[in-house]
């Protein structure tokens, strides 16, 4: 018979690692969206940093 002998410290460390992965994934997704937006603007003939006057 197997007993449930999970280590709470290990669980907390794993939760921290998963949170860090989530944060990095969110940052990468935002960067990819920014790059995609900049590419779309360039394809339309404008500059990504250009402001309309």
Written in H, E and C, the secondary structure of the chain is: CCCCCCCHHHHHHHHHHHHHHHHHHHHHHHHHHHHHHHHHHHHCCCCCCCCCC
Q: What is the arithmetic mean of pLDDT over 33-43? A: 93
Q: What is the arithmetic mean of pLDDT over 4-24? A: 95
| Residue 45 pLDDT level (bands cut at 50, 70, 90) | confident
Cα separation, 42 vs 13, in Å, equals: 44
Q: How many CA atoms lie within 13 A of 50 on its CB side?
A: 10
Between residues 30 and 51, the one the model is more confident about: 30
pLDDT at 37 over 90: yes
Which pLDDT value is given to residue 9?
96
């Amino acid at each position: 018979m197997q007993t449930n002998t999970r280590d709470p410290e290990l669980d907390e460390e794993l939760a921290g690692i998963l949170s860090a992965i989530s944060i990095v994934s969110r940052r990468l997704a935002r960067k990819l969206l920014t790059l995609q937006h900049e590419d779309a603007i360039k394809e339309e003939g404008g500059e990504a940093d250009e402001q309309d006057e």
